[in-house]
Structure 1
Amino acid sequence: MNTDTHIINLLIKNGRASFADIAREIGVSRAYVRQRVKKLVDEGMIEQFTAVINPDKLGKSLSAFLDVKVAPQGIEKIAHELAECPEVVSLYIMSDMKSLHIHTLTNDTEALNRFSHEHLFSREHIIDVECKTLLTRVKNRRGGPRL
Structure 2
Amino acid sequence: MARGKLDDRDVRILRVLEKDARNSFAEIARDIGVSIDTVTKRYRKMLGMGVLKRTSILLDPRALGVETIASLELEIDYSRVDELVERIRGLPRIVFCTPSLGRKDIFAIVFLESVEELSRINFQLKGLEGVREVKSSIWIEDHMLCPENFDLSKVVA
Q: TM-score scaled by structure 2?
A: 0.73
Structure 2: which 5+ residue stretches go unaligned? 1-6, 153-157
Residue 137 of structure 2 corresponds to residue 132 of structure 1: yes
CA distance in structure 1 between the partners assigned to 2:144 and 2:70 by the alignment: 16
Specify the alignment match of 2:67 in structure 1.
Answer: 61
Structure 1: which 5+ residue stretches go unaligned? none
Specify the alignment match of 2:85 in structure 1.
Answer: 79
CA distance in structure 1 between the partners assigned to 2:45 and 2:92 by the alignment: 32
Root mean square deviation, CA, Å: 2.7
The 3 A distance-change label for structure 1 pair 62 and 81 is same
The 3 A distance-change label for structure 1 pair 4 and 81 is farther
Specify the alignment match of 1:105 in structure 2.
Answer: 111
Q: Deviations over 1:59-107 (max 9, x none)?
A: 0112112111111112233224434556233334332375222221122
Secondary structure of the residue aligned to 1:52 is coil
CA distance in structure 2 between the partners assigned to 1:28 and 1:122 by the alignment: 57
Tell me the percent identity. 24
Q: How many pairs align?
A: 144
